[in-house]
Chains A and B, each alone.
Chain A
Amino acid sequence: MTVQQPITSLKKSKTAFDVLRIRKDFPVLSRSVNGHPLVYLDNAATSQKPTVVIQALADYYEEYNSNIHRGVHYLSQKATDAYEDARARIASFINAERPEEIVFVRGTTEAINLVAQTYGRLNIKQGDEIVITELEHHSNIVPWQMISEEKGAQLKVVPMTDDGDLELEEYRRLLGNRTKIVAITHISNALGTINPISEMIAMAHNAGIPVLIDGAQAVAHMAIDVRQLDCDFYAFSGHKMFGPTGVGVLYGKGALLESMPPYQGGGDMIKSVTFQKTTYNDIPHKFEAGTPNISGGIALGVAVDYLRSQDRDGISEHEDSLMEYATSQLSIIRGLEIVGKSKKKASVLSFVLAGVHPHDIGTILDSEGIAIRTGHHCAQPIMIRLGIPATARASFALYNTFDEVDELVKGLKKVAEVFGS
């Protein structure tokens, strides 16, 4: 339990970051829930959407709804241009070498499944090993289990400490001749740990092993440079970075993507089809069978523009200050324990309260208009490792305020009141 620090010193963001101006960009933030102003602290599950993104979806359907990559008519050309333009902007956003390295998918889950089912199926053989970590979301566990079972390969898991940090020596030991791929989360969705992925990527590359990074929790919170990281694959979802649901991105190094077989078969992923032989399309289209989420891709491009137009260092500092403030304020609540105590954490604050199940905390906070997540956060191995059934999780985004943290603290006092603890 930490000592209470003077509120005034922590309550001000160190920068001139104008959170109230940002809040005006997100229409849902002005609504009420259960008679209270909404306090949305479930951003690790999905972020809210700014007006520009919502409007981009409407614009597509109202003004140029059309299928892409095949029409000669005006609307189809306009939709194709907008979709491919979004791809290019996303490529530049994460500093990919070229737009063809951006594969549109439904989300992080599909991105990881795509790599497991194409790269994995081609390269993983019986007796091979796949290295993941104890901090993974189910979506970076199950696709690898599936391909392991199919191929007779083995899953090796990097353990974590009680604080939620990966044990790097153990990681080094697990990288071996049989390791065919490493898959690591950038930021843990359950504990908030920021993993030292640059170092981990370099260690894997020294052993000649490619690395996939699950960036679902990271893209909204920090600038990502895939070339500086030198990761081989980077997966993320649009909806956690202020874009729409149902669209996400798999970044892959061009040469790797070119070496991989297609994911699904169908239209758009082919150059020519006869009953004797089909020639596959070039990347990224080879991996994009069927009509994609066109409006979603376009709106994700707009979400990227929105994020880039903000002071990204300012966002990081604001979120770090919020985390620091929330951690200090929650730590002094009697019986409350923060789960995940890594020194490097981002935007996720998991906790348990003695004598009160997280689910009950969630219901009582909801009655105060406060949205948090409770449960195992699709990371059951972490819960098993820590010996708890579930946690309550508050997760922050650029639009959250210090006053909202105060509301959370007030809500938690109400929980204690109801439970008489």
Chain B
Amino acid sequence: MNELRSLYQEVILDHNKNPRNFRVMEDATQVVDGYNPLCGDHYIIYQKVKDDVVVVVTFKGSGCAISKASASLMTTVMKGKTKSEAEVLFQRFHGLVTGEPDLTTHSEELGRLAAFAGVSEFPARVKCAILAWHTVHSALQGKTESVSTE
């Protein structure tokens, strides 16, 4: 049960139940699809980037608690980040959930994202946690094709 609680932390359950920035953005500069067909997680990420700054990120779609909470939190931390800051965050989050944390990063820098540290104990769920992140990462690199982490 303890491991389970470390996976399904309050902050994750909260973002799953009440996802932030959960809406279509009509004036998005990029719209990218993130889809894991085997488990059925499917999100569309909308972002508005201006002068290399991520002005706002929103998302719609459905999936498991881990993927949805991860997408929701991602939209809150990406807001206002420059492209290079976003890249750093992506790498740190990736390290966190795959159990290879960047040792130079203190957990306070990751803030609420640290709630996802428990995912590394559940290898089958890493793909859920990183789906929205990979989708945004791909969008920031100017790619438009659908993203999958399966």
Interface residues of A (CB under 8 A from B): 355-360, 363-364, 367, 374-376, 380, 383, 389-390, 414, 418-420
Contacts and interface: CB of A to CB of B under 8 A. Distances in A.
A418 B8 contact: yes
Contacts of A380: 37
A380 B1 CA distance: 33
Given A357-B63, A389-B63, A363 B7 contact: yes
A375 B40 contact: yes
B102 to A, nearest CB: 26
Interface residues of B, number: 24
A364 B122 CA distance: 11
B64 interface: yes
A192 B112 CA distance: 43
Contacts of A389: 40-42, 62-63
Contacts, number: 57
Contacts of B66: 359-360
Given A357-B63, A375-B39, A419-B65, A363 B13 contact: no
5 contacts: A376-B37, A389-B63, A418-B4, A418-B13, A419-B13
A360 B65 contact: yes
Nearest to B5: A418
Contacts of A355: 17
Contact of A367 (B3, B37, B41, B62): B3
Nearest to A361: B64
Contact of B125 (A363, A375, A376, A419): A363
Q: Which of B4, B8, B37 gathers most chain A CB within 10 Å?
A: B4
Minimum-distance CB pairs A-B, first 10: A389-B40, A357-B64, A359-B64, A390-B40, A360-B65, A360-B64, A359-B39, A367-B4, A418-B8, A375-B39
B38 interface: yes
Given A359-B41, A375-B39, A419 B128 contact: no
Interface in B33-91: 37-42, 62-66, 68
Contacts of A418: 4-5, 8, 13
A355 B68 CA distance: 12
A357 B122 CA distance: 16
A129 B64 CA distance: 39
A375 B36 CA distance: 10
B38 A375 contact: yes
Given A357-B65, A357-B68, 8 more contacts: A355-B17, A357-B40, A359-B64, A360-B8, A363-B125, A389-B41, A389-B42, A418-B13
B83 to A, nearest CB: 31
